[in-house]
Structure 1
Amino acid sequence: MAELTGKYLVGVFDDDDVILHAVPQIRRAGVKIHDVYSPFPIHGLDDALGLPRTRIGIAAFLFGLTGTTCALTMMTWMMGIDWPMNIGGKDYISLPNFIPITFELTVLFTAFGMVTTFFVTNGLSPNPTPVMFDPRSTDNKFVMAIELGKNKMSEEDITKVLRDSGAGEVNIKQF
């Protein structure tokens, strides 16, 4: 997880619809939003925040392709080159016989690769230090964090925009 440093303005909202409609208003006002935290997923929030579409499918395909390549290379080497065996009169390199193991290694590489990708991209380590802008964001509140150092507007102007957008309270958090 990336270390946060700086001064943040934290807007606390009571309703998911209010924060979902507040995000475009705040972005139109010229405020750069650091992130929005909620106790459950809000559908459409990633589009409202302007986040790019995920590329996780590409990563999954590449892990699967790696598993397929490793399986076919391994079996071709073992059964056809290193120690060729005549089993039931079949060819040394017989692709129909390789299908089950190829499938299993493709799934295995994809699963392990995706779990590793998930942990790395989300900054999860064995002893993570969570960054909590407001502890109520895990229970019943919706929190919008705005880094003051990355915005050209003053703290008072951003506070006014947050309050006009429906924030119940606005706090300052220093990391």
Structure 2
Amino acid sequence: MSNKVIHAIYNDDDVLMDAVKQTRAAHHHIEEVYTPFPVHGLDKAMGLAPTRIAIASFIYGLIGLSFAATLMNYIMIVDWPQDIGGKPSFSFIDNMPAFVPIMFELTVFFAAHLMVITFYMRSKLWPFKKAENPDVRTTDDHFLMEVGVHGDEEELVSFFKSTGAVEVKVIEKH
């Protein structure tokens, strides 16, 4: 098993998209693509599975809604029921219209904050983590496709040059 990879560098996102499609059609495994900005449709072109982050967001929202309902029931009904304006309301359902804004806000609060934490954990972006860009130009104006070397190295280099790469390098991964 070789631990060499090819870094094919492109200077246009449309050329990159065509190169990704050609690379997949040639049955080469794309390890990663580094871009300075999100490229629409790149995930589908690379054949990545759809994300399940929306399901996580929905679950986090339900947790926030449940927390809000439980908290307000305990505070306003169980722990300290109040007679407001001569109308005692000692049931959760009678007070529900007044609780809706708080339930909405806590739903959004929990979903947003837990989603950020989930994103950082899934992408392994910890505070003070060093950047893992293989080429600093990918943060400015170039695009890099990293492909594992399996087979003839010279043939792969010529293949990526034919896809429109402005630079092709063979790198030893450590």
TM value normalised by structure 2: 0.87
Distance 1:99 1:16 in 2: 46
Aligned partner of 1:157 among 155, 158, 164: 155
RMSD: 1.7
1:124 match: secondary structure: coil
Give ranges in structure 1 of 5+ residues lacking alignment.
1-5
Give ranges in structure 2 of 5+ residues lacking alignment.
none
Distance 1:8 1:90 in 2: 72
Q: How many residues align?
A: 167
Which one is further off, 124-133 or 156-165? 156-165
Is 1:169 matched with 2:167? yes
The letter of the residue matching 1:107 is V
Q: Deviations over 1:41-93 (max 9, x none)?
A: 22221111111222222222111111110010111122222333333313222
Is 1:139 matched with 2:147? no
Which one is further off, 89-98 or 105-114? 89-98
1:166 match: secondary structure: coil
Is 1:59 matched with 2:56? yes
Match of residue 84 from structure 1: 81
Q: Deviations over 1:85-123 (max 9, x none)?
A: 333313222211211211121121112112112211221
The letter of the residue matching 2:70 is T
Query: Within 5 Å, which residues of 2 pair with 1:18-29?
Result: 18-29=15-26
Is 1:32 matched with 2:29? yes
The letter of the residue matching 2:50 is R
Q: Deviations over 1:113-153 (max 9, x none)?
A: 121122112211112121122211112221111133xxx43
Match of residue 69 from structure 2: 72
Is 1:47 matched with 2:44? yes
2:88 match: secondary structure: coil
Distance 2:127 2:46 in 1: 30
Distance 1:153 1:168 in 2: 22
TM value normalised by structure 1: 0.86
Tell me how far 1:27 sits from its aligned partner: 1.1
